């Protein structure tokens, strides 16, 4: 359910989006994974809401600033809340890497 929601939110960006690993040949792509899933609300000892914590990684050999803004906007529009972000550079592959973390509350 959550993976489908992420893919649907990012599909309009016209950039390859893959769960965990990307095996294509594009220089710019997005991967994502769920780094935490936990109960968030309880009533009568029953879980009433689940919190999903998603990391989205934007990878590019070029400037990804515009793409990152679109990712943030699309995720927000899909009901996600951004919790953190970081810029990285992968020395071995010479690729820029933006880490974006989001949370989503589902009943």
Q: What is the largest CA-CA distance in the chain?
A: 52
DSSP alpha helix (H) spans, 15-79: 65-77
Give pLDDT, residue 87.
Answer: 96
Give pLDDT, residue 107.
Answer: 81
Q: Which domain holds residue 46?
A: 2-106
Give pLDDT, residue 78.
Answer: 98
Residue numbers in the chain where pLDDT is lower than 70: none
Instruction: Please tell me the distance from the alpha carbon of residue 47 to that of residue 107, in angstroms, as a whole number.
Output: 9
CATH number, residue 81: 3.30.2000.30
Total domains, the chain: 1
């Amino acid at each position: 359910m959550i993976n489908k929601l992420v893919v649907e939110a990012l599909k309009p960006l016209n950039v390859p989006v893959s769960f965990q690993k990307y095996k294509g040949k594009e220089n710019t792509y997005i991967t994502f994974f769920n780094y935490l899933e936990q109960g968030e609300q309880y009533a009568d000892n029953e879980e009433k809401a689940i919190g999903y914590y998603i990391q989205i990684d934007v990878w590019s050999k070029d400037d990804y600033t515009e793409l990152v803004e679109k990712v943030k906007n699309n995720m927000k529009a899909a009901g996600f809340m951004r919790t953190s972000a970081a810029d990285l550079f992968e020395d071995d592959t010479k690729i820029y890497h933006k880490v974006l973390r989001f949370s989503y509350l589902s009943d």
